Amino acid sequence: MENVTKKSKEKSTWNVKEKILDIFSKYSMVIILVALLIAFQLMTGGIFLRPLNITNIVLQNSHILILAAGMLLVVLLGYVDLSVGSVMAFVGAMAGMLMVNNNISPWLAIPLCLLVGGVIGAWQGFWVAYVGIPAFIVTLAGLLMFRGLTQVVLGGQSLAPFPGGFQKISTGYLPDVFGVPGMHLLTLILGVVLAVSLVFAQWRARARRKENLFDVPSMNAFLIKAALTIVLVLGLSYIFASYQGFPVILIILGVIVGVYGFLTNRTVAGRQIYATGGNLKAAQLSGIKTKKITFWVFVNMGVMAALAGLILAARLNAATPQAGTSLELDAMASVYFGGASTSGGIGTITGAIVGGLVMGVLNNGMSIMGVGVDWQQAIKGLILLLAVVLDIYNKKRKIS
């Protein structure tokens, strides 16, 4: 009897341990992000979570988050794109030529620049998908080529300033339509709407899985997740409302996350991307046009790199030859931080954005604390390695 009781206790302890490990593996980056926010708030004497600083984190890292969204699809296929930083610089240079030198309206220049990014993505996607050249080689060539073309377009000099309307895509805020002193009421209203929408979406997703006879979390677990979502969204909305409201770029990021979330979770194309990255041969045998999928993923990456380049140029108010240097590494690190697998087939848009925020929080927090750039690079490199180690550990644990 004692042996049975002892075995029962051991089994119960093992189940609790497994649940804790599952929760950590699933939400590890979210847990790390929250821990970093709390740690930097304490270490900076309350400066870190001030509304102005939170807004600065969003503005300073918006282009990296946009790159991470595009890079996610590339990584899901098991590839990398080393050229995105150079493409950003080249598109920024084109924007400078159009708007600064030729006084072309941003309403015309922005679509043209996005089209240029799409053409660049199509160029690289053709060599990878249809010729079979490794993506590493193609995009490394793109890194060198478009960095050189940026120097050619700019002549080694910066172009500035951009029109005020163009700058607002990176530095503008939602208008204060209610005019309440000390509080941006529109931001609070949008925060409530967003919180309710997210909880409703979670409820619908749970109900849909239950109808299809999939395992779903308990009602208590769902309520806890919904409560955390509401607290997080309303808390952030209050922080932004205490300053100047939601930045325009945050709205753009929200739209991108929504579109990519829908693409990867609710569309046939999204399922095909996961299938192609998970097992290329099986995907081909099942009738998926893997070459076409690869081609369009690189086109998408080119457009996202162009958008990131425009946003960076708008924030700097200048097109510079050095723009985007090493940002391809930040984009890839964001995706891997967010739980994407280095071998493809695993990753989410939410994870990529959280991974990008982890990098942004690290950069901002260490800068406030006076940590040198050299140490910042070393710490980020160590964390990237640990993220990959965690990915490998989770894979081995699931197999065993």
pLDDT higher than 70, residue 400: no
Q: Which residues, at least 6 apart from 311, have a Cβ–Cβ distance to it below 8 Å?
A: 62, 63, 66, 169, 170, 249, 252
Closest CA to 138 of 292, 260, 335, 294: 294
Q: Strand pairing partners for 166? A: none
Q: Give the model confidence (pLDDT) of 70-93 as tens digits.
A: 999 999 999 999 999 999 999 999
Q: Which residue has the higher pLDDT, 57 or 391?
A: 57
Poorest-pLDDT segment among 15-19, 83-87, 296-300: 15-19
Which of 179-193, 212-226, 299-313: highest mean pLDDT?
299-313
Confidence category of residue 10, pLDDT binned at 50, 70, 90: low
Axis-axis angle for helices 268-278, 51-76 (nearest 10): 70
CB atoms within 10 A of CB 253: 20
CB atoms within 10 A of CB 392: 12
Write out the two tokens for 164: 């005020």
Q: Give the model confidence (pLDDT) of 323-336 as tens digits.
A: 888 888 889 888 98
pLDDT score of 394? 67
Mean pLDDT to the nearest integer, 288-293: 94
pLDDT score of 196? 93
pLDDT higher than 90, residue 28: no
Amino acid letter, residue 318: A
Poorest-pLDDT segment among 25-29, 181-185, 271-275: 25-29
Mean pLDDT to the nearest integer, 223-247: 90
Axis-axis angle for helices 349-368, 373-399 (nearest 10): 150
- Check if the beta carbon of residue 83 is closer than 8 Å to that of residue 143: yes
pLDDT higher than 90, residue 114: yes
- Residues 172, 94: Cα–Cα separation, whole Å: 22
Omega within 30 of 0 (cis) for the link into 247: no
pLDDT score of 386? 75
Amino acid letter, residue 311: I
Residue 173 main-chain phi, psi, to 5 deg: -130, 160
pLDDT higher than 80, residue 384: no
Mean pLDDT to the nearest integer, 393-400: 64
DSSP string, 156-184: TS-B-PPPHHHHHHHH-B---SS--TTS-
pLDDT score of 399? 60
pLDDT score of 87? 95
Mean pLDDT to the nearest integer, 129-145: 94
pLDDT higher than 90, residue 66: yes
**Which spans in the chain are helix H?**
2-43, 51-76, 84-96, 106-126, 135-154, 164-171, 185-211, 219-241, 248-266, 268-278, 280-285, 290-316, 327-337, 349-368, 373-399
DSSP code at position 366: H
Long-range own/partner contacts, residues 268-274 (CB < 8 A, 24 or more apart): 269/293, 273/73, 273/76, 273/77, 273/297, 274/76, 274/345
Confidence category of residue 222, pLDDT binned at 50, 70, 90: confident
DSSP string, 66-120: HHHHHHHHHHHTT---TTHHHHHHHHHHHHHIIIIIS---HHHHHHHHHHHHHHH
pLDDT score of 181? 83
Q: Which residue has the higher pLDDT, 315 or 10?
A: 315
Omega within 30 of 0 (cis) for the link into 161: yes
Poorest-pLDDT segment among 23-37, 147-161, 187-201, 381-395: 381-395
pLDDT score of 24? 66
Amino acid letter, residue 386: L
To the nearest whole number, what is the mean pLDDT of the chain? 87
Write out the two tokens for 182: 């000390």
